[in-house]
Structure 1
Amino acid sequence: MKAARVHSYGRPPSIDEVEEPRVVGPFDVLVEVGAAGLCRTDLHVIEGQWAAIQNPTLPYTLGHENAGWVREVGSAVHTVTPGDAVILHPLVTCGLCAACRTGDDSHCSNAAFPGLNADGGMADLLLTNARSVVKLSPNLQPVEVAALADAGLTAYHAVRKAQPLLTPGTHAVVIGAGGLGHIGVQVLAAITSATITVVDRSAQALELAAKIGAHHTIDPTDGAGSMVDQVREITESGAHVVLDFVGEHGTPAEGIAMLRNRGSYYAIGYGGEVQVPTIELISREISLVGNLVGTYNDLVELMTLTSAGRVALHTTSYPLDAVLDAIHDLESGRLVGRGILVPSP
């Protein structure tokens, strides 16, 4: 089968012919990949940023946002059957550790993370387990939802955590309305009562954000003043919650500066640094909140919203063989929404 594989860090992946994975264990699920999302994390993987954390054995296959159809299941699997359309939680979890037993499966002590430390879904087939599989509603197709497995799940997880803070009359600011952020805007509109302001340098991203739930949009390059000043004017002293889907190029400092006293900064995108004097944390009583993917139950809830038409993924599709073109478009900022890689039929 074909697979997009990383052979060494700092070099583009290649399309290789590799052996097909096989069902071995009783809880294994073999999935025919219908679509795999391309994420900025994939760029960081290629750069080697995740090497020290995940320590994968090279070469391995990219792709941690995956959906498709069940081809084969192990002897103990009864939740899905061959032919079912499914989306896959990005982690393959054990179900036995303390984190799994409390429903915090994104912190499973024994997890494999296809696309980061094991073979992922930018291939014709992907081997996962029954704990990772969410059966899709009949009105959803894998190519429509694949990137929700991480981008959507991460955005939903962050907004879900912030939801208790976003009561009527509150203000939420979204920094970055791209692949993750445009989903975050929709989730904010679907499950909170907050006034939503979106900051982005892309006119296309801001136009999309206005259509899917943003009440205000800010382009920091339009000469109307700094984005911090504009946010403070809109929110009348600062945001209750800032959701930073960029996390680099100065956005952490700007996001924190946008907060009102007792506000909360949610780091979702990454690559930069958060540097805050402890006296500021104390005197302003602000909170800094990290966000990693989301739980299996988060993914189930997100699929419910998606099936109901409350969340829609805006995508650009590429054949798997064109993975380098997709990566180039993502790096250059030409993608609006999310890039999707589709294996050849």
Structure 2
Amino acid sequence: MRSLQLCRCGEPLEFAEVANPKPTGTEVFLKVLAAGVCHSDLHIWDGYYNLGGGKTLKLTDRGVKLPLTMGHENVGEVVAVGPQARGVKVGDKRLVFPWIGCGQCAVCKRGDDQLCMSPRFLGVFRDGGYATHMMVPHPRYLVNYGKMRPEFAAPLACSGLTAYGALKKLGSLIKTEPVVVIGAGGLGLICISILKAMKGKGAIVVDIDLAKREAAKRAGALAVIDGKAADVLEQVKAAAGGAVWGVIDFVGAGNTTKMAFDSIAKGGKVIVVGLFGGDVTIPVPYLPMRAATLQGSYTGSLAELNELVKLVRRIPLPLLPTATTKLDNGQKVLDNLKANKVVGRVVLTP
């Protein structure tokens, strides 16, 4: 098998080639059909997360070890199964749930593997899909995605699941109130479509990039607003009809989270998803006085991925502007993503 590996943070990825491993126990070995390149891969490539105030969270502090094959948005075809693997067979094509926990702690046992303190996330702590093949530890992490093309199904494992998990945290208000979406990258754009599938009222999208605002408009946003505008808060409130009840911040920078919090009405909710970095200062009394919710959201559970795939199979939607390119071009895709030249999602195909 051939893989594109991160060997030293901040430096170009390198190709490696090894013999195909043989699955043991419950393991399932897949030929990779599609691997989405996610913005969070940039943080892994950089080797740190910006915590603001000159502080960083290093990759090594999270327990990530190099060399690493990134790629957590994967679709593959089963080519071999371990002797205890049940429920899949050679030739099956499946979407891979990457947010795998230890399987033993209370968090995992309640179904929230993505919040496990001893994670085994594919493409983060274990090798992922920037490769010709990949190993998955158990068939339970393989989801039947139906007749979708692999390149459209793959982003559901992160972009789709993360947007879906954030929307669920807003609860029933998505049915009656527009949701303000900050950031029209892969997450923001897929959120617009998933919100439609959930029969939500719609999305008001804020982004500083004209091309991404245009993409959001084509995807069906109720309104698009330039995040650099001096009166951005007034425009957001006007588009929402005067009161903003729910905001999802897919950027996750200090200024975007502050803008989100400043925009909400009493009882409003801000869900922070993005990892751009920085910090934010909010007067503590405002939280109780405004009955405000400021909540983080990290990907989603295996149950939620199954819910999302079932939803999308029932209500097919053009989820993302998606381009495909060969695995050999993986480094170029990361470079373009870092330079903010990607609209939607680029998916690697071996």
Q: Give the TM-score normalised by the residue count of structure 2.
A: 0.91
Q: Does 1:62 find its partner at 2:70? A: yes
- 8 Å CA contact 2:6–2:67 kept in 1: the answer is yes
Alignment of 1:189-204 (within 5 A): 189-204=196-211
**Structure 1 residues 113 and 53, CA gap change in structure 2 (3 angstroms):** farther
Partner of 1:71: 79
Partner of 2:259: 254
- 8 Å CA contact 2:119–2:125 kept in 1: the answer is no
Match among 254, 261, 267 for residue 272 of structure 2: 267
Distance 2:272 2:292 in 1: 13
**Structure 1 residues 340 and 249, CA gap change in structure 2 (3 angstroms):** farther
Q: How far apart are 1:201 and its partner, in Å?
A: 2.2
- 8 Å CA contact 2:145–2:153 kept in 1: the answer is no
Superposed CA offset, 1:135-178 (max 9, x none):
221x123222112111111111111221323232x231000111
Distance 2:82 2:63 in 1: 28
- 8 Å CA contact 2:100–2:113 kept in 1: the answer is no
Q: How far apart are 1:194 and its partner, in Å?
A: 2.8
Match among 124, 127, 143 for residue 134 of structure 1: 143
Distance 1:215 1:107 in 2: 33
- 8 Å CA contact 1:165–1:240 kept in 2: the answer is yes
Q: Does 1:147 find its partner at 2:155? A: yes
Moved more, 311-320 or 170-179: 311-320
Partner of 1:13: 13
Q: Does 1:316 find its partner at 2:335? A: no
**Structure 1 residues 231 and 135, CA gap change in structure 2 (3 angstroms):** same
Q: How far apart are 1:94 and its partner, in Å?
A: 4.5
Q: What is the CA RMSD across the aligned residues, in angstroms?
A: 1.9
SS at match of 1:127: strand
Unaligned runs of 5+ residues in structure 2 are 49-57
Distance 2:69 2:98 in 1: 14
**Structure 1 residues 311 and 266, CA gap change in structure 2 (3 angstroms):** farther
Match among 318, 330, 337 for residue 337 of structure 2: 330
Unaligned runs of 5+ residues in structure 1 are none
SS at match of 2:193: helix
Distance 2:201 2:282 in 1: 26
Distance 1:14 1:76 in 2: 34
SS at match of 1:316: strand
Match among 291, 294, 299 for residue 297 of structure 2: 291
User: Alignment identity in percent?
Assistant: 34
Partner of 2:54: none
Q: How far apart are 1:323 and its partner, in Å?
A: 1.1
Aligned letter for 2:244? A
Superposed CA offset, 1:28-87 (max 9, x none):
111111111111111100111251443222112111111111111122222211111100
Match among 125, 128, 132 for residue 124 of structure 1: 132
Q: How far apart are 1:262 and its partner, in Å?
A: 1.2
- 8 Å CA contact 1:231–1:238 kept in 2: the answer is no
